[in-house]
Amino acid sequence: MTEELESRPDENTSEEFKISKNKIKRGLYFIAGTICLILGIIGIAIPIFPTTPFLLLAAASYFRSSEKAYNWLLRNKVFGNLIKNYREGKGLPIKVRVITIALLWITIVISIIVMQIILVQILLLVIAILVSIHVALIRPKKECKVEININDSQ
């Protein structure tokens, strides 16, 4: 069973939107996108919870349901660059990686101190190590230098 999609060119990019023609499917995609967006936001606050995969799923869901929601997500100050950098293969800036790993370990150490169950403490430690390795191995984004020439012509 294949889904019928309506193709519309995006005026801001070279992409074509693949909006579902079925209103029910569009609604379900929109709900799924919103749930993924909320989970991505939670991932910002909780270091062991993934952010980028949920934001990518939200973008894909909005791409099939709502041109307006998709464009809002990509233009968002907080989420837009994360999604664009991932799609373009730019990775994370070093500063973001350092902050992410530091917040992860602060959260994990506090959790280990609070939790008195040894198995949970070991599990948290293993998760922290694996997530740290993953974040450290993400290719850093190369900073671009931009020159601006301003000519005063009156």
Burial class (CB in 10 A: 0-12, 13-18, 19+), 149: exposed
Distance, in Å, from the CA atom of 73 to the CA atom of 75, rounded to the nearest integer, reads 5
Q: Which residues contact 120 (CB under 8 A, 6 or more apart)?
A: none
pLDDT of 140:
59
pLDDT of 88:
78
pLDDT of 47:
67
pLDDT of 65:
93
Higher pLDDT, 78 or 63: 63
What's the gap between Cα 21 and its chain centre?
A: 27
Higher pLDDT, 59 or 12: 59
Overall average pLDDT of the 6-16 stretch: 50
Beta-bridge partners for 19:
6
For residue 84, the surrounding DSSP H or E stretch is: helix 80-87
pLDDT of 22:
85
Distance, in Å, from the CA atom of 132 to the CA atom of 127, rounded to the nearest integer, reads 8
What is the DSSP secondary structure assignment for residue 7, as one 8-state letter? Answer: E
pLDDT of 143:
53
pLDDT of 20:
73
What is the DSSP secondary structure assignment for residue 39, as one 8-state letter? Answer: H
* Per-residue pLDDT tens digits for 14-59: 456 677 788 899 999 999 999 999 998 998 887 667 787 889 899 9
* Per-residue pLDDT tens digits for 92-146: 777 778 888 888 898 889 989 998 899 999 999 998 898 888 888 876 555 544 3
Q: Which long-range contacts (CB under 8 A, 24 or more apart) does 66-74 make?
A: 66/19, 66/26, 66/30, 66/33, 67/8, 67/10, 67/17, 67/19, 69/30, 69/33, 70/17, 71/10, 71/12, 73/37
pLDDT of 16:
64
Q: Is the pTM of this model over 0.85?
A: no
